[in-house]
Every structure is written in C-alpha cells, then in structure tokens.
Amino acid sequence: MKDVLPGLRALFGPQTMVVTMINGIPWWYFHKLGGAYEGRRLDSVDPGGVIDQHIERERIIGSVVYPASELVEPGVVKVIEGNRFTLGELDGERSERIDALSQAMMRAGFKAPVSRDIRSELWVKLWGNLSFNPISALTHATLEQICRFGPTRSLAAAMMREAQSVAEKLGVRFKISLDQRIAGAEAVGAHKTSMLQDVEHGRALELEALVGSVVELGRITETPTPTIDAIYAATSLLAQTLAVQKGRLEVQPLA
C-alpha cells in the first residue's frame, strides 16, 4: 500500500470517499472514536503514521468484507460464498454520502447495510480471522477441520475470549456469541483461510492487521492476551522464515 500512497492525492476530488475494504484492524481505528483513546495511532498497522498522512480522515468510510474467496491467479478471484459489505461512518452518523454509496452497491447486486457501529461489526469478523487464520497457517487445516478438531477448536475459542476482553474495553458490543461465531466459520466448510493461501503461494502474511494489532490493543488497554501472543510469535517466525527463504509451504500427498 505504501507504494501507491504518494499518488493518491491526485486522484481525490472534493467528494471522494475512501472505502477501506481491508481485513483486520484498520489504521483509522481510533479516529472519531471519542473517549480516552481518541486519535491514538496503531504502529502495527500504520508504522510512523504514513497512511494517515496521505489520506484525510474526513474521506474515510469503514467497511467489513464478508465474502470468502480464493485468488486463483492474478486477476482471477473465485468467490466461495457471500456478497455482503457492511459500511459505516467512523463517527456512527447516518450521512447522505454513505446512504448513496450503500444504494449504489445494492444496485450492483451486493448487500451493503449501513452500520451505526462499524467497529463492533468489524470485530465480529476479526474475532474469527485473528484465530482461524494463524492457526490454519501453522497447521495447514481448513476452517472445517479447525472447528471439528477439539484441541484447535478450543485454541481458537481461547484466543477469541482474550480478544473479546480487549474489544469490550474499547466499547465494542458483540451481537452474537462466541459459539455462534465458531459455528459460522465451520459452516463455510473446507475453505482455506487467506493466510493459509498466502503461506502456500509464498506471499506476505496479513499478520499485523489480523493478530499483531490485537496484541497492540491488548497492551494499550492493559488486557492480558497470552494465547494470542503465543500464536502471534509462532506465526511471526513462520512469516519471517518464508520471507528470508523466499519460499512457500504446502502439504502435498506422497507419491
């Protein structure tokens, strides 16, 4: 993303919105949040505040991307399931511009509900991503396998409980239960998470946005996250090894 930042300003018009369709905790998380944490920067997702310097906060629209997909090849994406993109202003207002954006996306065939609490919506998806993604990267298992294997199901649940404690200190309200979130992941079936796909193809891992950011939020809110910390450490070493070796890992059947 840093490579495209310098050229963005030339593309912005007076009414241009920047819709952040990204996984994990976004760099703008503390913008317009209010309270004790207003305006803080997350070094895990925006070291040095570089992104914040190039994109005006007033332009940002938050979103949560729900479709599960696989990158088959450059320019070819296979959608496994889902077509919902939840949208939200950072301050929770129901603005004219976000209604117009929602309507445009719905006319294009997407589900695009507007949330008055985009951060709580974001955490529901992150709840699974921060646990299932690194576990899948380390074990090469699908969502279905992780959820149906007792030890990894319990491991994911432990990570999710720690994350919930962090999020609730930030004012987040979870509208579904932990068991419902795990059941939702299991229902997706034999799907490889994006992080596992990246391991198999030798791509950089989205580790900071999905896991490192939660570790940082734990420190900010003074909330212990021992299970998340351990999985983050192991997956960080995996990411470093793949990067240094310029390699990839994939489980192949024996000949």
Q: pLDDT tens, 54-85?
A: 999 999 999 999 887 777 888 898 887 789 99
In a domain, 250, yes or no: no
**pLDDT at position 154, please?**
98
CA 150-156-161 angle, to 5 degrees, is 125
Please say if 175 is a catalytic residue.
Answer: no
Asked, for residue 175, whether it belongs to a domain, the answer is: yes
Q: Report whether pLDDT(3) > 90.
A: no
**236 pLDDT above the threshold of 90:** yes
User: What's the average model confidence in pLDDT over 220-234?
Assistant: 98
161 in a domain, yes or no? yes
**What is the Cα–Cα distance from 99 to 101, expressed in whole angstroms?**
5
User: What end-to-end distance do the CA atoms of the chain give, in Å?
Assistant: 40
CATH number of the domain that residue 167 is part of: 1.10.1040.10
Number of structural domains the chain divides into: 1
Q: What is the pLDDT of residue 5?
A: 86
Model confidence at 13, pLDDT cuts 50, 70, 90, reads very high
Looking at the domain assignment, is residue 241 inside a domain?
yes
- Give the pLDDT of residue 114: 97
Q: What pLDDT was estimated at residue 1?
A: 62
For residue 252, being part of any structural domain is answered with no
Q: Write down the catalytic residue from 32, 111, 125, 169.
A: 125
Stretch 192-217: mean pLDDT: 96
3-state secondary structure the chain: CCCCHHHCHHHCCCCCCEEECCCCCCCCCCCCCCCCCCCCCCCCCCHHHHHHHHCCHHHEEEEEECCEEEEEECCEEEEEECCEEEEEECCCCCCHHHHHHHHHHHHCCCECCECCCHHHHHHHHHHHHHHHHHHHHHHCCCHHHHHHCHHHHHHHHHHHHHHHHHHHHCCCCCCCCHHHHHHHHHHHCCCCCHHHHHHHHCCCCCHHHHHHHHHHHHHHCCCCCHHHHHHHHHHHHHHHHHHHHCCCCCCCCCC
* pLDDT value, residue 74: 84
Domain-embedded: residue 132: yes
Q: Best-predicted range by mean pLDDT among 36-40, 81-85, 187-191, 244-248? A: 244-248
pTM over 0.75: yes
Q: Are 62 and 87 in contact (CB under 8 A)?
A: yes
pLDDT in tens, 126-168: 999 999 999 999 999 999 999 999 999 999 999 999 999 999 9
Residue 35 lies in a domain: yes
Within a domain: residue 251?
no
Q: State the Cα–Cα distance between residues 242 and 232, nearest whole angstrom.
A: 15
Domain range spanning residue 55?
Answer: 5-245
| Mean pLDDT score, 18-31 | 94
